[in-house]
Amino acid sequence: MRLGVFANTAKRHAERIHLTVYNPFVRFDLVEDIWTSLLGKCPHSYFLSWGWVDSWIRSLPPDCGVSLIAGFKNDSPILAFFVGSHNVIRHRLFRAGQLSLNSTLIPFFDSLCLEYNAVLIDPDITIALENMVEMIPLKNWDEFYMPRYSPVYCPNLIIRDMSRKYNLKILDRRNSYYVDLEGVRKNNMDYLALLSNNRRQQIRRTLKEYKKWGDIHVRVAGSAKDALGIFEKLVLLHQKEWKNRGQPGAFGTDYMIKFHKNLISRRFDHGEIQLMEITAGMNPIGCLYNFLYQGCVLFYQSGFSYLAKNVYRPGLVCHYHAVLHNAAKGFLLYDFLADDSQYKKSLSTDSNEMLSILVQKSRLKYKVENRIRTLYHFGQERLSMNGAGRQPRLFSLLEKLKRLKSWKKTV
């Protein structure tokens, strides 16, 4: 009964909202006014702050397909989000027009890794996701993708109870683990006592080994110039390790490096950027790159000096000291951001959940695609059961079906 009340309220609110599309590269000042007017009253993370969004828009080419969609009630903005638009062809058969929440759908640019994604919605408004996407004034779209959507920052967007006109899929669930820094302070700054016995022993052991080199020192950048210097050290350490693993690393493109240098230069003096360098004596242990926003510390990237012996755990030492430093500074939490890795979980006291959601319009081609996917996986299972023998007839037929280009004209 309660869900029905919420849904009816959300529908009534939606009937009074008018959505308008703006090009942020042409109407930048107006987009800024709309966005910042909502930031003052809507819950949001650093990744939707104007500091981040401003830097993001400035980093993109004007032809990337990004637009701002703003909702108005009585000429006042009460809802806003960005969308990237892109057309894809899947399985060589199905063409889909895609929209993506606050991202571009271009992997090169989306490598920034947006976290705690949300729609800015006036707290006095409740709206159903179905009603919102129904009103999007863009033509020829089939799918609305919401990467790493956070219910924590969007409590008044109702994503349940969608009609048969749409299919709602939860593509991924990820935990964002964090340390409650108030809990650390209440525990007399004894952070280790909040962790498991095994993790406590590991941290104490690696601290003991590093201290043989000299006192452990934490240096926090005091200026934008200093922060850029630590950032360069972080990039070198980060890229060295990931190249050794045969991976490109987070800073493998000039775009990523340029974006973050600009972000650090523009936003450090606003108190949003924290670069830390941790050393033992004269020897580097690692560097951390964090965002500071609304009392939260968001760990974004790192560069560690790895050694051959397993007793040296630079990540544990750096995060241990970062937690203590930021707890002493009065911050509320230290967030490791979305990743289900065991080491982040073991260093945390709590977690939030992020969801990757896909809303599809109910179309025949998606029913056919889902059926083909089911049959395809069934055929592969049969093939694996048969070993290297003859392919099952069903599997062979499906492979032929995927090659029928004439299907593009019929779905």
pLDDT band for 4, please (50, 70, 90 cuts).
very low
β-bridge mates for residue 286, sequence order:
278, 304
Q: Are 23 and 65 in contact (CB under 8 A)?
A: no
What is the reported pTM? 0.85
List, for residues 222-238, the tens digit of each pLDDT value.
999 999 999 999 999 99
pLDDT band with cut points at 50, 70 and 90 for residue 279: very high
pLDDT of 378-409, one tens digit each?
556 655 555 544 555 544 554 555 554 444 44
pLDDT in tens, 62-116: 999 999 999 999 999 999 999 999 987 765 667 789 999 999 999 999 999 999 9
What is the DSSP code (8-state) at residue 260? Answer: H
Looking at residue 155, what DSSP letter applies? T
Q: Measured between alpha carbons, how far is 91 from 94 in angstroms, rounded to an integer?
A: 7
User: Please, how many CA atoms are within 13 Å of residue 345, restricted to the half-sphere of its CB?
Assistant: 7
Cα–chain-centroid distance for residue 373? Answer: 28
Angle among Cα 390, 396, 401 to the nearest 5 degrees reads 175
Among 347, 293, 341, 339, CA closest to 318: 347
The one-letter amino acid code at 208 reads K
> What does the buried/exposed string (b/e) look like for 98-112 if buried means 16 or more CB atoms within 10 Å of the residue's CB?
bbbbbbbbbeebeeb
CA distance 411 to 409: 6
pLDDT of residue 197: 96
Helix (H, G, I), strand (E, B) or coil at 288: strand
Q: Which domains can be identified in the chain, with CATH numbers?
A: 2-163 (3.40.630), 178-354 (3.40.630.30), 365-409 (no CATH)
**CA dist., res. 347 & res. 333, Å (int):** 12
Q: How far apart are the C-alpha atoms of 399 and 383, rounded to whole Å?
A: 13
Helix (H/G/I), strand (E/B), else coil: 193 = helix
